[in-house]
Amino acid sequence: MSCPRDLHYRMPAEWEPHAAAWLSWPHKRESWPGNFEPIPGVWRDLVSVLAAHEDVHILCGGDAVRDNAELLVGGLPSVTLHDVPTDDAWIRDHGPTFLVGPPGAPPALVDWQYNAWGSKYPPFDLDNQVPRRIAEVTSYRRFTVDAVFEGGAVDTNGKGTLLAARTCLLNPNRNPNLQEAEFENLLRDFLGIDHVIWLEAGLAGDDTDGHVDQLARFVAPNVVVAALAEDPQDENYTELQDNFQRLLEARDQDGLALEVVPLPTPPPLYYAEQRLPASYCNFYVANGVVVVPQFGVPQDETAIRLLSPLFPGRECVGLPARELVWGLGAFHCITQQQPSQPSKDV
């Protein structure tokens, strides 16, 4: 069977045109222990912003979950609810990787294996079925891979270069039998990637073993924003400096140096004495808007000011995320973009 690369499919950059955004409606109270009540309202506010710019599809299997989603966002235009059950709400990680192909090619997605960040939070069997269920809903061609992968673990410029963290995808709790070169071959064959820039480690309080959507993101084919802690006493300071230096020394698929833009992290935030992995890199790029997490600190305004000129033609909108990040993720973690497919030449 041919792999996606052989058929000229690729993983696009997030800023390329979207057909839709996908979300899984929150219902697992243990993901926000002791403070779940505000969380559905966070989804409501996010969906309200996104639905003005792109179609929104929401997985909400079961009567109670669907009723809650219907109550809060069911009346919004461009929103479709699907009776697909999930274990949790982090669709960036349990959802498919959507691909774009050559004009006229059938739309396709990649169905990776998912084990809830190294089997940290069972059960996850429903979440592992989400790519298949979305393929059924959309009638997309489905390519399956027998390797564990999470969407938040990577970021691409759409031209063949990918950011990833060794501490996550090469972790024995995900893929104990795969070496770096073997995983790069999978990224090449299934996502059309030519070059991988490997980062190390992640933020304090992060349970993902180093998702790059907390550390660094492409904002243009040759431009990356990278999280940096301003206080040398911050426990994130040294590792973020190390990743920043790696990016300065990195090259893209054409051997060109990257422009690396520092993006300050908020000061240390805690909930119930737990350090939260708060990062402005966890933004979501939609068709006409960039949704940026806000944590109720002065750096919120700085993040919007720095990101806005990097996304010409899009409005950078800040939404409150302090309650959301108690679940150890933000807006990029709870969204998955479905790219538009190129039209067949006439």
* Distance, CA of 154 to CA of 210 (rounded, Å): 10
Active site (annotated) includes residue 333: yes
- Residue 336's beta-bridge partner residues? 22
- Does 310 fall in a domain? yes
- Does 154 fall in a domain? yes
- Does 104 fall in a domain? yes
pLDDT band for position 157 (cuts 50, 70, 90): very high
- Does 10 fall in a domain? yes
Cβ neighbours around 111 below 10 Å, total: 23
- Does 215 fall in a domain? yes
Q: Which domain holds residue 246?
A: 5-339
Q: How many domains does the chain have?
A: 1
Please pick, among 168, 281, 316, 333, the residue that the annotation labels catalytic: 333
Across residues 167-173, what is the average pLDDT?
Answer: 95
- Does 308 fall in a domain? yes
**pTM check: above 0.75:** yes
Give the CATH number of the domain where residue 111 resides: 3.75.10.10
Across residues 194-213, what is the average pLDDT?
Answer: 94
Q: What is the pLDDT of residues 83-128, one digit of tens each?
A: 999 999 999 999 999 999 999 999 999 999 999 999 999 999 999 9
Given a cut of 80, whether residue 65 has pLDDT beyond it is yes
Question: Quick check: 181 and 152 in contact, CB under 8 A?
Answer: no
Which is nearest to 39 in space by CA: 96, 92, 88? 88
pLDDT band for position 2 (cuts 50, 70, 90): confident
Element (H, E) at 308: none
- Does 85 fall in a domain? yes
pLDDT of residue 201: 78
Mean pLDDT of the chain: 97
- Does 14 fall in a domain? yes
pLDDT band for position 1 (cuts 50, 70, 90): low
pLDDT of residue 62: 96
Given a cut of 50, whether residue 224 has pLDDT beyond it is yes
